[in-house]
């Protein structure tokens, strides 16, 4: 995380009149230049704008991590909670006031390691929360340790000989746990994030957005912009988003197809 109060102040002055702060907060993101999270921020802002969601009825909930900073950068109600508790707090917010549109946001460490026990329960309960998993396969905030979605062989300061652990596949987990809307997306394509979010927000149950992102500061090896751009591709034309078994079979074969993988129409 880099901070620069003076730069932020002058940027705010320059763009204050443009109207973007109707959805973006005046606290500009302090993510590293080039971080994939900027694309996710743009995608989510545009979805809120496209659906004309009243901002006083939108809540953004996060845990801890670079991704966990998100609520500060959104002009919505926000909760920056404790590490790994993004989903239970989001569940409480939604149950407390079902009129609210709730976005749960967090990294792969927050959502798959310390908070990994919560995904099955929000999925099986089908709580109407939109969960954006910012998956850069590394712990960014704590300076680059491997996460549960890091591939075997991933070298970091904490795994100098390469990670030996089998990675978790968050898309597969969400499908297996019974999530009723599952999309896999790329931070480098904000428009497709917006389009999927618009659909997922309208979906009356739990919506899971597995967003492949980059940590440009600590990962020079795996989820780099170059590698992601080379590998991501759209779902096949004949993909049927209503067929859960076909989705699971597809995800077992293909790690990089992007789009709305699954939706259960009855919610
Ligand atoms: C209970 C607890 N354990 C550990 C930490 C240290 N910690 C802070 S953020 C983080 C992981 C961040 O990685 P990720 O969730 O992937 O988010 P990113 O920073 O990559 O966006 C850890 C282990 C903490 N803050 N609280
Ligand atoms: S995830 Fe990586 S690139 Fe992004 S803000 Fe955190 S440390 Fe910087």
pLDDT digits (tens, 9 = 90+) for 121-145: 999 999 999 999 999 999 999 999 9
What crossing angle do the helices spanning 190-202 and 37-50 adopt, rounded to 10°? 50
Q: Three-state SS for 252?
A: helix
Could you say which ligand is closest to the alpha carbon of residue 132? 1
Q: Tell me whether residue 3 is in a domain.
A: no
Query: What value does the mean pLDDT take over residues 231-241?
Result: 97
The residues pairing with 184 across neighbouring beta strands, listed in sequence order, are: 210, 259
Residue whose Cα lies nearest atom 4 of ligand 1: it is: 83
The C-alpha R_g of the chain, in whole angstroms, comes to 18
What whole-number distance in Å separates Cα of residue 175 and Cα of residue 199? 17
Q: Tell me whether residue 9 is in a domain.
A: no
CATH number, domain with residue 28: 3.40.50.970
Query: What value does the mean pLDDT take over residues 222-237?
Result: 98
CA of 66 to the centre of ligand 1 (A): 8
User: How many structural domains comprise the chain?
Assistant: 1
pLDDT digits (tens, 9 = 90+) for 28-77: 899 999 999 999 999 999 999 999 999 999 999 999 999 999 999 999 99
Q: Tell me whether residue 230 is in a domain.
A: yes
Predicted confidence (pLDDT) at residue 267 exceeds the cutoff of 50: no
Residue whose Cα lies nearest atom 8 of ligand 2: it is: 32
Say if CB 178 and CB 123 are below 8 A apart. yes
Range of the domain at 89: 17-263
Q: How would residue 18 be classed by pLDDT, with cut points 50, 70 and 90?
A: low
pLDDT digits (tens, 9 = 90+) for 194-218: 999 999 999 999 999 999 999 999 9
Q: Tell me whether residue 5 is in a domain.
A: no
Q: What is the pTM of this model?
A: 0.94
Q: Tell me whether residue 125 is in a domain.
A: yes
Q: What is the mean pLDDT of the chain?
A: 94
Q: Tell me whether residue 11 is in a domain.
A: no
What crossing angle do the helices spanning 170-177 and 244-253 adopt, rounded to 10°? 160
Q: Tell me whether residue 7 is in a domain.
A: no
What whole-number distance in Å separates Cα of residue 184 and Cα of residue 258? 5
CA of 142 to the centre of ligand 1 (A): 6
pLDDT digits (tens, 9 = 90+) for 78-121: 999 999 999 999 999 999 999 999 999 999 999 999 999 999 99
Number of Cβ within 10 Å of residue 116's Cβ equals 17
Q: What is the DSSP string of 120-159?
A: HHHHHHT-S-EEEEEE-SEETTTT-EE-TTPPTT--BTTB
Q: Tell me whether residue 254 is in a domain.
A: yes
Whole-number percent of the chain with pLDDT over 90: 88
Q: Ligand 2, from 34, 111, 140: best to mutate by most atoms within 8 Å of Cβ?
A: 140
Query: Residues in the chain, how many?
Result: 267
């Amino acid at each position: 995380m880099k901070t620069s109060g003076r730069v932020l102040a002058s940027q705010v002055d320059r763009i204050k009149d443009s109207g973007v702060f109707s959805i973006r907060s005046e606290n500009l993101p302090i993510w590293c230049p080039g971080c994939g999270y900027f694309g996710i921020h743009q995608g989510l802002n545009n979805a809120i704008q496209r659906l004309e969601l009243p901002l006083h009825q939108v809540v953004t909930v996060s845990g801890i991590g670079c991704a966990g900073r998100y609520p500060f950068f959104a002009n919505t109600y926000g909760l920056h909670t404790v590490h790994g508790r993004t989903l239970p707090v989001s569940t409480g917010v939604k149950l407390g006031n079902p009129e609210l549109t709730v976005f749960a946001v967090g990294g792969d460490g927050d959502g798959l390691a310390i908070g990994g026990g919560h995904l099955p329960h929000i999925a099986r309960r089908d709580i109407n929360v939109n969960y954006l998993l910012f998956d850069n396969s590394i712990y960014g905030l704590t300076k680059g340790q491997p996460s549960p979605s890091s591939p075997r062989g991933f070298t970091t300061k904490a795994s100098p000989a390469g990670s030996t652990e089998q990675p978790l596949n968050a898309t597969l987990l969400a499908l297996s746990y019974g999530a009723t809307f599952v999309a896999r997306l790329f931070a480098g394509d904000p428009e497709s994030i917006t389009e999927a979010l618009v659909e997922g927000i309208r979906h009356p149950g739990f919506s899971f957005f597995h967003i492949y992102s980059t940590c440009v500061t600590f990962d020079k090896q795996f989820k780099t912009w170059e590698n992601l751009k080379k590998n991501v591709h759209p779902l096949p034309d004949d993909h049927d988003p209503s067929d859960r078994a076909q989705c699971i079979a597809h995800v077992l074969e293909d790690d990089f197809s992007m789009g709305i993988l699954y939706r259960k129409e009855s919610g």
